[in-house]
Structure 1
Amino acid sequence: MDAGECSTSRPPHPSAASAPSPSSAPAVWAKLVPSDPAFPEVEVAEDDAVVCSLVAPAAAAGEEVAWCEIRRNGGDASSATIRNLSSDAIIVDGKIVKQEAVDVKPGSEIVSGPQKEDHLVYTFEITAARDQDKNNVKIVIDIENAKCSICLNLWHDVVTVAPCLHNFCNGCFSEWLRRSSSKSRDKSQSAACPQCRTAVQSVGRNHFLHNIEEAILQAFSSLQRSDEEIALLESYASVKSNIVLGKQKNQSRKRPFSRSSDEISHADLPCPQCRNEFGGFRCIPGAAHLQCNGCGGMMPARSSINIPQKCLGCDKAFCGAYWCSQGGNSSHCNLICNQETFKMISQRDISRLPDTVHGGNPYEKDITEKCIQQSGKTLQAVISEWISKFDNLEIDRSRLQLNNVDAITSRTYICNFFHLMLSTGIAAGTVSRAAPSTIALTTPRS
């Protein structure tokens, strides 16, 4: 059916020679079945809602006319809307319709004129083609959500990393992974996700998103990259199948210090205050205890004191501040953390960036160090400036990967301040501006 034509009546028994081929046939989704089998059915096509057919038995030898328009209802697959296009009224389910539009459903009776006796009577039906269209689902997607956060372009040969499920170009992530591993001192350490810094456990090609990628390019050809860019990306791409990253531990043989519950029995790792009284306190039998996430040692769970025992950022227990307040040290028990592992943010005195910043990615650590040097400030000055902005609510806290983020201030005890500061990528206010141009794949690999 050419553009501009209307849906027309179909002979009851068309010859095989006149039947349209499947590729050229219009997408028919409904039909009007006449009450008199001597007259042909009228097909309603997807690309033309106007119905052209005979309207009266007396005009059997006459011309077909466009007398109504039938369109699908987008939100309801079992109904449609009919609009009268003729100069006379029509009847829909016993109701006279002049110019307004009314709903119809399978089984609705439609009279092609104002009088049932002098006009053809049709029954509305939705055909099987409607069910076939369920295989072609329209997906609404924001183009910005289909872009790689490394190169900031539409995905090319998209891969998905786990467990965070962020998506990148195969070539972009492969080069990120190569640079990270080449500078990492610990080869067994997992690479960090370029978007959220979560340790990546595995990466694989995403065939479902690849189909979406191709559909977007068909709709928006302007997003297509040049042949040179595609060739460069494909030269970097190393993810051919699912890849497991990092050194996997055998969880069945050795369990980490953290357990399913913070308050556990202390029979296996005795608490120093269970054996002796010091700091004016001794545990009573059966008292609840916390296990330190840093050293694995035990301490009594004492919510009544003003000494914090849990990090607000991760909700895990740390013993350094508690044992310092009690006068405890390694002479009382070997399993006691140093006070430096758990203290107020404002008390931190940092002289160098630790290797754990940016999820342990040495490439981003180098960028951060250069940005701080170019700012002309010391690392401690940058941190002090950031703390002041944090307390004054000048930092977007929604981007921080921390629990209880709104309750954290510079006087909050936290176990890893560098995770708090550098996860936002704002050290010296220049990291986020420097990283994209440096990471972009614009030169051949040496």
Structure 2
Amino acid sequence: MRIHFIAIGGSAMHSLAIALTQKDYQVTGSDDAIFEPSKSRLKKFGLLPDRMGWYEDNITSDLDAVILGMHAKADNPELLKAKELGIKIFSYPEFLYEQAKDKTRVVIGGSHGKTSITSMILHVMKYHDKEIDYMVGAALEGIDNPVHLTQENDFIVIEGDEYLSSPIDRRPKFHLYQPNIALLSGIAWDHINVFPTYENYVEQFRIFIDSIVNGGILVYNEEDAEVKKLAEETENPIRKHPYQTPEYHTDGDHTILDVPEGELPLEIFGKHNLNNLAGAKWICQHMGIDEDDFYEAIATFKGASKRLEKLAENNSSIIFKDFAHSPSKVSATTAAVKEQFSEKKLIACLELHTFSSLNAEFLKEYRDSLEKADEALVFYSPEAIAAKKLDPVSADQIMEAFSKEGLRVFVTAEEFKKELHNLKLENSVLLMMSSGNYGGLDMEEVKAMI
């Protein structure tokens, strides 16, 4: 097949393009800007466009399909040309479903924990040499490409994102996969630019549960009240398997899982990660991995990329970087680090970077999310707020929203960087949380602080 990607530079889009190339598809693509690491990876596989921009002549009648990424707009000239020629147009999830429709589809959904749970499952499968297809939203140790597609594998594991499918398809991605086996980890309001009310957001997860095929399986986190309610209320004829955080304890800087055979030391830590582990175990068991084999494999799991990634460590101090940005993730990550390193001072730094986090009305959702930190710093850019055409937000509004005693708020990258380098890090953990880069902060310089 000949496939053209409109907006090939996206993190998921370029990974799918590479996966199809590895499956011997003929792939081309276009974009108006491509950044690292997408750029280098596309170049390695001969997929980097010769020119940046959108050009009608990229779309020819011999194409079998076009895959449209979210970065493109509805009036994209290549999209309009494809429509004119009658070429089949897929969103990313639509095309992924086409690749997976004859397989057992395992879809991991939820506002938080999706990437970690999917990564745990893939780690266990790889550890036991079980070949499966997959799509995960992060780079994993030992896995070359976050998307892997074959003709022969029976299972495909998909990280089920609730964000929109494409500029012309406003359905959440995870509505399109029709899972045979699904997991729902938790619900915490996010993406308010798309789902303006909490009720509207929750409704997307109700639809997800209803999309599970008849006789399928739902594995769900019963500690999340909203998830439990949806699971119990559904009339979809499916089997349901609730899970909860397993028994564990900490010993110094180590987390120990209490298993039937005794104590199992883990490489990961934090209650939220142990909860994720319990969900991953159920899924792996439904995929043919027994409990003992799961525990043997998960003991060597070190975490997904950008999720509590250790940047630096010396005898008294540690620096972590984490992708956390939504209120529930910030709260869970901060609590996890404080629980694991209770004898150290926790200095938590958060960048408000996303559309939701910079919305004046949504800010109140962050109340008490930094409560476990001994010191807390928040950085945001008024320019970013203006660029997103949002109402201005003041430092006082942020102070009031977080309700954190001693919170320091910074509105310029220079001020934040200066304060960061003035921190006293003896016997401390520095936790850097952001989906951005703090206005261009060099993480190599941060590493060198200890």
Same fold (TM over 0.5): no
Select the structure that is richer in helix: 2
TM range (shorter): under 0.3
Larger Rg: 1
Q: Point out the structure with the larger strand share.
A: 2
Name the structure, 1 or 2, with higher relative contact order (CA <8 Å, separation 6+).
2
